[in-house]
Structure 1
């Protein structure tokens, strides 16, 4: 659901170098992949490194190929991270395993081939902490669909059985009662599609299983509703979801969903603050920006939900002079950088003030 994440300094603090580093690599794409990975697996990992141009960059790691080790204190501080990847040869067989161990000051690379472990290189870094970030989906580190796996399996089984029943209906057995029916009669029936000389006490019918589609459909809808209820995901295809409901009524229907998303944002924000701190440490070491505490920066989330910009514009007009312009403009769904929009508006206003008025033009 996260479509845009913006970092906003709480005071007049310059964080543009970090934002520029984010823009150069389109960090939004990575944020979406990290959010999707944590929603599926319960956790996702980000690795921050310096590229050939000595610029900080981020990459997503496979959650099955990284181990983040923490100490046993109450704060569970990061000690080091172990990352590994399998290297295959031309025959697509395992050649060796490359292991990287990153701690707070250096990154050491090892080569594991068979039972032989050799050190390849060691490189220092200036991120100030272990450059691996763990994003949790929730406290239990569970994916969004894990609580409803059994219901999803039941739904799939029910739908599969319905399709099988339809297929078996086509291959139903034709039964004859009170009459003889030999191979010649079967050939005539197949060729002419006609059955003749049926005795008065005889009967011909298909042997099929009686399908109660009404009960099956009720069960399907019940399972579907339970899936949405337990996973706290609204059923957008439900005819009763919107109907003639007001905006407030729809928000009440979305309340469990919003609470779940807020919880996910809370855990995701922790990772974003770790990322900012690592980027800030790197850029501060290279004298590109000053040290900025993470308490002076806030992460703002925008979600991919329908919005009424007309009502938002009325709210902005009512709060004009009470709330700062940047905060108000940021409420509009089509605005990506509120600070830039406010600066452009100020420049336009200054240009208008320098232009002659209509009365001045008439006097000339």
Structure 2
């Protein structure tokens, strides 16, 4: 290889990082982990066939695993749309199952499709083993201080 050339593998990683704005996404992912105890991220294939990632609000994600949310066996995303409809997406190692409430409060399966990844594409980042946010460690101290001063 000539000096100054980039290997095809490195170029693919650089392109992925640029397309997904990984530096900013990682910063936000870590910030949510420190606030909520864990962060959530979804890998997906866009309409052009590119591998993409996006951060998911931690309160919208549930991981079903043996304790390792970095590589869960299953994951669930639950959210509300702008018009108030409730939706859920269930992920396993091969398929996404889409559910919605439509006209009632009961969820019904709308459709399912393969997600094109080898493993669950919704995964987490832990802040610590206890899955606690940084502020949770000092909340009792803050409450005691408030009680003392009032």
User: Smaller-chain TM-score range?
Assistant: 0.7 to 0.9
What is the aligned counterpart of 2:77 among 54, 74, 83? 83
Q: RMSD value over aligned CA atoms?
A: 2.7
Larger radius of gyration: 1
CA distance in 2, matches of 1:77, 1:58: 15
CA distance in 2, matches of 1:136, 1:117: 29
Q: Which residue of 2 aligns with 1:148?
A: 138
8 A contact 1:83–1:101 mirrored in 2: yes
Q: CA deviation at 1:59?
A: 1.1
Match of 1:78, SS state, is coil
Question: TM-score by structure 1 length?
Answer: 0.35
Mapping for residues 270-289 of structure 1, pairs under 5 Å: none
Question: TM-score by structure 2 length?
Answer: 0.80
Q: Which residue of 1 aligns with 2:123?
A: 133
**CA offsets, 1:85-118, max 9 Å, x none?**
11353xxxx4x31111111111111112434432
Match of 1:64, SS state, is helix
CA distance 1:125–1:140, shift in 2 (3 Å)? same
Moved over 6 A (4+): none
CA distance in 1, matches of 2:82, 2:39: 25
**CA offsets, 1:36-89, max 9 Å, x none?**
1111111111111111111111111111111111258x9x96221111111353
Q: CA deviation at 1:128?
A: 0.5
| Structure with greater contact order relative to length (CA < 8 Å, sep ≥ 6) | 2
CA distance 1:156–1:99, shift in 2 (3 Å)? same
Query: How many residues matched?
Result: 142
In the alignment, structure 1 segments of 5+ residues that lack a partner are 1-11, 162-364
Would you tell me which structure has more strand in proportion to its own residues? 2
Q: Which residue of 2 aligns with 1:41?
A: 36
In the alignment, structure 2 segments of 5+ residues that lack a partner are 1-6
What is the aligned counterpart of 1:109 among 88, 98, 105? 98
Would you tell me which structure has more helix in proportion to its own residues? 1
Q: Which residue of 2 aligns with 1:16?
A: 11
Q: Which residue of 1 aligns with 2:48?
A: 53
